[in-house]
Amino acid sequence: MSDHTLYIEMNPSSDVMERVLRVTRHRGFTVANMQMQADTQSQQLLVTVRSQRPISQLTRQLDKLIDVYSCHLQLEQQQTESSSARQA
């Protein structure tokens, strides 16, 4: 199984959070870790999901949700940490 970390910015509503989690589950992904921050204009979610399915399948579906402003894969952080670990 592969772990992927997604950064999702969305409307600050509990309904949107429920839809994001429902789509995640229906697409065959398991939530391994989740962190959330909210203010009056947006809600930021950093979620690590686990599955053997392609992550592009999930990101495309999340991007289609009306109250999701953006959804992208956190690649830079993982690559930087891997490079630092190898150099140490």
Q: What is the mean pLDDT of residues 16-39?
A: 95
Asked if 71 contacts 19 with a C-beta cutoff of 8 angstroms, the reply is no
How confident is the model at residue 36, as a pLDDT? 94
Confidence label for 14 from pLDDT (cuts 50, 70 and 90): confident
Q: Where are the domains of the chain?
A: 2-87
**Per-residue model confidence as pLDDT tens digits over 55-78:** 999 999 999 999 999 999 997 455
Higher pLDDT, 79 or 50: 50
Asked if 74 contacts 7 with a C-beta cutoff of 8 angstroms, the reply is yes
> Which fold, 2-87?
Alpha-Beta Plaits (3.30.70)
- pTM for this structure? 0.79
Asked if 28 contacts 88 with a C-beta cutoff of 8 angstroms, the reply is no
User: Nearest-CA neighbor of 1 among 45, 49, 56?
Assistant: 49
Q: What is the mean pLDDT of residues 22-51?
A: 95
d(CA 87, CA 80): 11
Higher pLDDT, 19 or 87: 19
Average pLDDT, the chain: 88
